[in-house]
Chain A
Amino acid sequence: MSWHRLLASKIRELRLVCCQTSSHSEGIRSFISKNYTQVKSQAPEFPFIVRECENAIPLVVARYDFGVEKKVCVEGFSEKDVDKAVEDLIKQADSINSHRETH
Chain B
Amino acid sequence: MPNSSLNNNPINMLHQLKRYFRASSRLLNTIEVFIDGNSIQVPPTFTIMQACHKAGVNVPHFCFHDRMAISGNCRMCLVEVERIMKPIASCAYPVSPGMRVKTQSEMVYNARGGVMEFLLANHPLDCPICDQGGECDLQDQSVVYGYKQGRFLEYKRAVEDKDYGPLVTTIMTRCIHCTRCIKFSEEIAGMPVLGTTGRGRETEVGTYIGRLMTSELSGNLVDLCPVGALTNGPYAFTARPWELRIINSFDVLDPMTPAIVVNTRGPEVMRVLPRIHDEINEEWIHDRSRHAFDGLKQQRINACLVKTQDGFKEIDWEQAINMAAEKLNQVSGDEVVGVIGEHMDLEAIVAFRDFMYRLGCENIEARRHGIQVSADFRANYLMNSKITGVDESDLVLVVGTNLRTQHPVLNARIRRCVTQNDLKVAVIGPSESLGYDYKHIGNSAKTLKEILDGTHPFAKKLEKAKLPMLILDSSLLKREDGEAIMALVQELGNKYKLVNPEANWNGISILNSSVGNIGALELGITSKHIPGFKPKIVYLLGADNFRPEEIPEDAFVIYQGTHGDEGAYRANLILPGAAYTEKSGTYVNIDGRVVMGRLATSPPGQGRSDWEILRALSEVMGHTLPYDDLQEIRYRIAELAPHLVKYDYVEPYNQTEWITKAKKGDVVESVFADQVDNFYMIDAISRASPVMAKCSAAFNHLKNSNFVPEFPNR
Tell me whether A and B are bound partners. Answer: yes
Q: Which residues of A are interface residues toward B (Cβ below 8 A)?
A: 12-13, 15, 17, 20-21, 32-33, 36-37, 40, 44-45, 47-56, 61, 63, 65-67
Does B526 belong to the interface (CB within 8 Å)? yes
Residue of B nearest to A29 (CB): B654
CA distance A61 to B469 in the complex (A): 35
B360 and A54 contact, CB distance less than 8 A: no
B657 touches A49 (CB 8 A): no
- Number of B residues contacting the other chain (C-beta, 8 Å)? 35
| Contact, CB under 8 Å: A49 / B375 | yes
Quick check: is B612 within 8 A (CB to CB) of the other chain?
A: no
CA distance A12 to B646 in the complex (A): 27
User: Is A13's CB under 8 angstroms from B524's CB?
Assistant: yes
B642 CB-CB contact with A under 8 Å = yes
Chain A residues whose C-beta falls within 8 Å of the C-beta of B10 in the assembled complex:
21
Question: Max chain A CB contacts within 10 Å: which of B357, B526, B661?
Answer: B357
14 of the cross-chain contacts (CB-CB < 8 Å) are: A15-B524, A21-B9, A33-B657, A36-B658, A40-B660, A47-B526, A51-B524, A52-B378, A53-B642, A65-B360, A66-B333, A67-B354, A67-B357, A67-B623
Interchain CB contact under 8 A, A47 and B651 = no
Indicate if B241 sits at the interface (CB-CB under 8 A): no
Alpha-carbon separation in the docked complex, A13 to B527 (Å): 12
Q: Is the CB–CB distance between B11 and A21 below 8 Å?
A: yes
Q: Is B693 an interface residue (CB 8 A)?
A: no
Which A residues lie within 8 Å of B27 (CB)?
A: none
B648-671 to A contact mask, C-beta < 8 Å, 1/0: 000111100110110100000000
The reply to whether the CB of B347 lies closer than 8 angstroms to some CB of chain A is no
Which 7 pairs show the lowest CB-CB distances between chains A and B? A67-B357, A49-B524, A53-B642, A53-B643, A51-B641, A67-B358, A56-B642
A21 / chain B contacts, CB cutoff of 8 Å: 9-11
Collect the chain B residues with CB atoms within 8 Å of residue A17's CB.
641-642
Q: Report yes or no: B357 in contact with A63, Cβ–Cβ below 8 A.
A: yes
Which among A12, A37, A53 is the interface contact of B651 at CB below 8 angstroms? A53
A21-B11, A51-B641, A65-B360 given; name 4 further pairs at CB < 8 Å. Answer: A17-B642, A45-B528, A50-B658, A56-B642
Contact check: which of A20, A37, A65 meets B653 at CB < 8 Å?
A: A20
Q: Which residues of B contact A37 (CB under 8 A)?
A: 661
Q: Which of B275-311 contact A (CB under 8 A)?
A: none
CB-based contact B640/A52 at 8 Å: no
Which residue of A12, A15, A20, A52 contacts B362 across the interface (Cβ within 8 Å)?
Answer: A12
Secondary structure call for the A interface: mixed
Q: Do the beta carbons of B11 and A47 come within 8 Å of each other?
A: no
Q: A47 → chain B, closest Cβ, in Å?
A: 5
- Which A residue's beta carbon lies closest to that of B353? A67
Look across to chain A and name the residue whose beta carbon is closest to the beta carbon of B356: A67
Give the distance in Å from the alpha carbon of A61 to the alpha carbon of B354 in the complex. Answer: 14
Q: Which of A47, A52, A65 lies in contact with B376, CB distance below 8 A? A: A47
Q: B336 to chain A: closest CB distance in Å?
A: 13
Asked if B315 is an interface residue, CB under 8 A from chain A, the answer is no
Residue B675 at the A interface, CB < 8 A?
Answer: no
Contact of B663 (CB < 8 Å), options: A20, A44, A51, A52: A44
Least distance between B547 CB and chain A CB atoms (Å): 21
- C-alpha gap A61/B651 in the complex (Å): 21
Whether A51 contacts B358 in the complex (CB less than 8 A), given A17-B641, A56-B642, comes out as no
Nearest chain A CB to B577's CB is how many angstroms away?
Answer: 22
Residues of the B chain whose Cβ atoms lie less than 8 Å from the Cβ of A15: 524, 640
| Chain B residue contacts of A47, Cβ below 8 A | 375-376, 524, 526
In Å, the complex CA distance between A47 and B521 comes to: 11
Q: Does B142 lie at the interface of the complex (its beta carbon under 8 Å from any beta carbon of A)? A: no
* B647, CB-defined interface residue at 8 Å: no
A32-B658, A51-B643 known; A20 and B376 CB under 8 Å? no
* Residues in chain A near residue B378, CB distance under 8 A: 51-52
Given A50-B658, A51-B378, A56-B642, the answer on whether A66 and B653 have CB atoms closer than 8 Å is: no
**Complex Cα spacing A45 to B660, Å:** 11
Contact count A vs B, C-beta below 8 Å: 76
When the two chains form their complex, are residues B524 and A52 in contact, meaning their CB atoms are under 8 A apart? no
B12 within 8 A of A: yes
Task: Note all chain B residues with C-beta closer than 8 A to A40.
Answer: 660-661
Q: Say whether B144 faces chain A, with CB atoms less than 8 Å apart.
A: no
> Is B377 on the interface with A (CB-CB < 8 A)?
yes
* 8 Å CB contact of A20 from B333, B377, B623, B652: B652
Kindly state the separation between the CA atoms of A54 and B4 in the bound complex, as whole angstroms.
13
| A66 surroundings in chain B (CB, below 8 A) | 333, 357-360
Contacts of A50 in B (CB 8 A): 376-377, 658
Distance in angstroms between the alpha carbons of A51 and B651 in the assembled complex? 10
Tell me the bound Cα distance from A67 to B360 in angstroms. Answer: 7
Known: A50-B658, A53-B651, A66-B360. A20 touches B11 (CB 8 A): yes
Any chain A CB within 8 A of the CB of B236? no
| A-chain residues with CB within 8 Å of residue B653 when the two chains form the complex | 20, 52
**Per-residue CB proximity of B98-133 to A under 8 Å, as 1/0?**
000000000000000000000000000000000000
> Which A residues touch B360, using CB under 8 A?
65-66
- Expressed in whole angstroms, the Cα–Cα distance for A48 and B660 within the complex equals 10
Distance between A31 CB and nearest chain B CB, rounded to angstroms: 12
Residue B323 at the chain A interface, CB threshold 8 Å: no
A54 with B376: in contact, given A40-B660, A67-B354, A67-B358 (CB under 8 Å)? no
Q: How far is the CA of A20 from the CA of B658 in the complex (A)?
A: 12
**Shortest distance between the CB of A26 and any CB in chain B (Å):** 13
Verify if B57 is at the interface (C-beta below 8 Å from A): no
Q: Which residues of A contact B640 (CB under 8 A)?
A: 15, 51, 61
CB distance from A17 to the nearest CB of B (A): 6
Chain B residues with CB under 8 Å of A65's CB are: 360
What's the Cα separation between A61 and B652 when bound, in Å?
22
Q: Which B1-45 residues have a C-beta within 8 angstroms of A?
A: 6, 9-12
Distance of A95 Cα from B356 Cα, bound (Å): 21
The interface residues of chain A lying within 8 Å CB-to-CB of B357 are 12, 63, 66-67
- In angstroms, Cα B658 to Cα A48, docked, is 12
Specify which chain B residues have a CB less than 8 angstroms from the CB of A44 in the assembled complex.
Answer: 663
Instruction: Give the docked Cα–Cα distance between A12 and B378 (Å).
Output: 19
Most chain B Cβ neighbours within 10 Å, of A51, A54, A66: A51
Instruction: State the CA gap A52–B522 with chains docked (Å).
Output: 11
Q: How far is the CB of B625 from chain A (nearest CB, A)?
A: 10
**A-chain residues with CB within 8 Å of residue B375 when the two chains form the complex:** 47, 49
Least CB distance, B482 to chain A, in whole angstroms: 15
Chain A contacts for B528, CB-based, 8 A: 45
A44: nearest chain-B partner, CB-CB: B663
Question: Which single member of A20, A45, A67 contacts B654 (CB below 8 Å)?
Answer: A20
B368-386 at interface with A (beta carbon < 8 Å)? 375-378
Contacts of A13 in B (CB 8 A): 524
In the complex the two chains form, what is the Cα distance from A66 to B653 in whole Å?
Answer: 30
Q: Report the bound CA distance from A65 to B361 in whole Å.
A: 9
Cβ contact within 8 Å between B354 and A53: no
Q: How far is the CA of A56 from the CA of B9 in the complex (A)?
A: 13
Q: How far is the CB of B527 from chain A (nearest CB, A)?
A: 10
Contact B641 A53 (CB under 8 A): yes
